[in-house]
Chain A
Amino acid sequence: MRSRRATAVAALLALGAAFAIVAAASATVNRSAAPAAASSAGSKLISCGTTRTMGVLEPITGPAASLGKLQNDWIQFYVNSHNRTHKKAKLRLAKGDTVLGGPGGTAEAVKAAQSLASNVLGVIGPAGSNEVKAATPTLMNAGFAFVSGSATNTEITSDGTRKGFFFRTVPPDAIQSTSVSNFINKKLKFKRVYIIDDQEAYSTGLADAVQSKLRAAGVTVTRDGVSQQQSDFSALIAKIPRDTQIVYIPWQLPPKGKAFGEQMRSAGKGSINLMGSDGLFDDAFASLSGVYASSFPTSGSHPIVKAFKKAHGGDAEFFGAPSYVAAQVVGGAIDRACKDGKATRAEVRAQVRKTNLKKTLLGFNVKFNSVGDIAGGQFGIWKSNGTAFLPVG
């Protein structure tokens, strides 16, 4: 009896402690989102010295580590090029692992954001749209400008909550989905489309947008989804009707897109057209002759792309290219803010807002509008000849 009472008391105490922890955590979250805190952290002077620090939030480990590698390769390429020409104003990277798609969810992105040191002046990333949403209070509280090269969810800029802090060097889903649906409906004139998302925020958002635009135009759309972790698509491919005209897969992992295309061909459905999004705009997916992909109007002959390919065994790793531009944006802003030897994060944010990069490797100029999107960003449609993508729309 006594032991039962003791157990009940212990349980109540534990419950009370749990409530206290939850309440304290909630209070912390609320405080961290407060603009007043943001302004104080952002106005602290940081000595620039001869080597300035940029934060990078990217998936270094976990299921999406291959995407992080592409981004990291491009970011590092920018830093190396920059440091060759700026001997007294070098850049270094402080990396945080967001473990995108891992079992810890977006909490890893928040932890990575919290771990950024006090000498970090600006941040590249996070990579995923959900990570951007989760890490926003922490990054804003610290006064950072954070520039993503891959978070395309339309809402993260259109909702206005990150205005002045968040920027991105990829056009949002709203623009990409318009290009894709117009190409399928108006140029190819297809009426039976099968869309398969990969269950990640990037993919489902884009798939939803393309689906609604195609349906509004009277196209018959069948929708399906498959886990990004999956490599066996045979059962899913069996379900795709043979009279389907095009399968649209807005995925992030080009090798998975390639495996899907190969398995379609193995299943005798190679005559159905296949189209990917910018996430599949890569040499691996381009090795499937005749497939389409949407992407920014970059060019393989751009001198920076050529130099990158030369340094990386001939692979352009296009998915990471916008991260190069994000590094250009943050690095350039830090250079300008550090002209007098010291800078605040608020000054870096102001310089990011003033960014005006001409003829970037993405194929357009990069200048931000009031919500942090690229003004005039666009997407084109490309078709593979078996080795590379060529523009078709």
Chain B
Amino acid sequence: MNWSLFWDLTVSGLTLGSVYSLIALGYSMVYGILKLLNFAHGDVYMIGAFVGYFALQGLGGPQNPSVSVWLVVSLMFLAAMLGGGLLGVVIERFAYRPLRDAPRIAPLISALGVSFFLQNAALLVFGASFRDYGTFDLIGGKTYHRGNVFLSVPQILTIVTALLLMIGLTLFVARSKIGKAMRATSFDREAASMMGIDVDRVIASTFFIGSALAGAAGVMFGLVFGQIYHYMGFIAGLKGFTAAVIGGIGSIPGAMLGGLLVGLAESYSTGYLPQGSTFQNLYVFALLILIILIRPSGILGKADVKKV
């Protein structure tokens, strides 16, 4: 067993998985509340990455930041989360809310439309060129290692930040008033409304939080992998959706677990399976099919029980 390769692949999988987890959380939260597959979510992640990039440029760029590096990184996350969150609220207000009582296919088509709109709007506004986060200049290329485990600073930053955000979200949903309202709305929207919960506000909050997490994931991606561009949300969105389904769509811990599993599956298939890097999507989506066949509601999802 080549342990060096194993640990390299594990670190790579966990890093990528952290990004997928944050994207999957948005899919899962929205589905939990509205039973809507928000296919524009991957593009919110892309916009978040661009907001983070422009925040970095506004603060002097990676080579000459006007404040300390860690403050720059924090402000990038803040700007991307705020930008992503607001975009999510706007999308909900104008593309989904008017269709809330329409047949389920209508908001799905609307979601696809918003996705293409955002993708092309980004192309129009930001241009087709790749944007470079310049992580090497900003943070440096230093790598820490213990035994066979090598971790770069952006990888540590990504894994730790994702972990903190996931813990924060779990506590928020479990303990805060709005979190309880979100759970109630998810359980039965009409009953929640009759109990005095402002459902519109809860749904808007859900979109804000889910989209803010996608914005954070966009910045993480830029910091670890360097380059962002208008088309980056398409595949990442699909992988985030896959992660949400594998973990059990509608389940917050499920989304986290699903994201990490997809990241690790991608990484191990690249490292160990024949032509793994070429056909990694084949292996990842085969995993999706396998898990769905064994557990149709995902690993931590609950089967829909209906009174008959």
Is the C-beta of A226 less than 8 angstroms from some C-beta in chain B? yes
Is the C-beta of B115 less than 8 angstroms from some C-beta in chain A? no
User: CB-CB < 8 A to B8: which residues of A?
Assistant: 234-235, 237-238, 267
| Chain B CB within 10 Å, residue with most, of A229, A235, A258 | A235
With A225-B278, A238-B8, A267-B8 as contacts: A256 and B227 at CB distance below 8 Å: yes
Q: Are A235 and B267 in contact (CB under 8 A)?
A: yes
Alpha-carbon distance A239/B130, docked complex (angstroms): 26
With A255-B227, A262-B141 as contacts: A234 and B11 at CB distance below 8 Å: yes
**Which of B85-93, B121-129, B206-214, B254-262 touches A?**
B121-129
With A236-B270, A239-B270 as contacts: A255 and B132 at CB distance below 8 Å: yes
Is the C-beta of A66 less than 8 angstroms from some C-beta in chain B? yes
Q: Are A234 and B226 in contact (CB under 8 A)?
A: no
| Chain B CB within 10 Å, residue with most, of A225, A236, A284 | A236
Q: Are A255 and B130 in contact (CB under 8 A)?
A: yes
Q: Are B278 and A232 in contact (CB under 8 A)?
A: no
Contact of A225 among B224, B225, B277 (CB under 8 A): B277
Is the C-beta of B43 less than 8 angstroms from some C-beta in chain A? no
Contact of B278 among A62, A226, A259 (CB under 8 A): A226
Closest chain-B Cβ to A245's Cβ sits at a distance in Å of: 19
Chain B interface, number of residues (Cβ within 8 angstroms): 45
Q: Are A65 and B135 in contact (CB under 8 A)?
A: no
Q: Are B225 and A259 in contact (CB under 8 A)?
A: yes
Chain A interface size band reads 35 or more
Chain A residue with Cβ nearest B130: A255
Is the C-beta of B231 less than 8 angstroms from some C-beta in chain A? yes
Is the C-beta of A28 less than 8 angstroms from some C-beta in chain B? no
Classify the interface of chain B: helix, strand, loop or mixed.
helix
Is the C-beta of A300 less than 8 angstroms from some C-beta in chain B? no
Q: Which of A258-306 contact B (CB under 8 A)?
A: 258-259, 262-263, 265-268, 284
User: CB-CB < 8 A to B16: which residues of A?
Assistant: 232, 234
Alpha-carbon distance A262/B153, docked complex (angstroms): 13
Q: Are A266 and B152 in contact (CB under 8 A)?
A: yes
Contact of B270 among A65, A68, A235, A253 (CB under 8 A): A235
Is the C-beta of A81 less than 8 angstroms from some C-beta in chain B? no
Is the C-beta of B287 less than 8 angstroms from some C-beta in chain A? no
* 27 residue pairs from A and B, CB less than 8 Å apart: A61-B123, A61-B128, A63-B231, A66-B130, A69-B128, A196-B277, A224-B275, A224-B278, A227-B278, A229-B235, A231-B221, A234-B12, A234-B16, A235-B9, A235-B12, A237-B8, A238-B9, A239-B277, A255-B227, A255-B229, A256-B130, A259-B227, A262-B135, A262-B136, A262-B141, A266-B152, A284-B130
Can you name 6 extra interface pairs (CB under 8 A) apart from A227-B281, A266-B152? A234-B15, A234-B16, A234-B267, A235-B266, A258-B132, A265-B136
Interface residues of A (CB under 8 A from B): 60-63, 65-66, 68-69, 196, 199, 224-227, 229-232, 234-239, 253, 255-256, 258-259, 262-263, 265-268, 284
